[in-house]
Amino acid sequence: MNPIEAAFVNAFVWKNKRERALFELDSAAKRWRFLNRICHDYVGVFDERFMQPFPDLGHNPEGVVGHLRQLGAGKTCQVISSNDDVDGKHVALEEAVAATLGFGFPSVLICAPESLAFFEAEQVQGPPPRFLLLKK
């Protein structure tokens, strides 16, 4: 199990959903199930006490990166994404945002495993819902 993803799950996923999330994320064959779950029921997966709407910056990768950096994001992040090009990888924050912003399907950019992540939900109509997962 990727330790960054495990720490993220333990910090932000509802306690009764953690074991399943860890199991799915740890399996290449089942990883899509976690992504499908956050595609259709992210409020049932992520603890809403730590979810904040992300400021509406439109499709502005530089603005998203800048805002995350103001909150303490570093140069890299771990990615959980429907975009196979970056899913499961630890990449530069700019690369992750460029690859996932507006992709249309869910992505999580884990900036600090136990305290900061960016989540973009599935785009159904209009701009996709975007959230900070934040513990202070």
65 Cβ contact partners less than 8 Å away, ≥ 6 residues apart: 73, 93, 94, 97
Nearest to 57 by CA among 136, 113, 130: 130
Confidence of residue 40 (pLDDT cuts 50, 70, 90): confident
**The whole model's pTM is what?**
0.96
Strand order in the sheet with 107-112: 51-53, 130-134, 116-120, 107-112, 76-81, 90-92
The answer to whether 110 and 132 have CB atoms below 8 angstroms apart is no
The pLDDT value recorded for residue 101 is 96
Q: Is the pLDDT of residue 125 over 90?
A: no
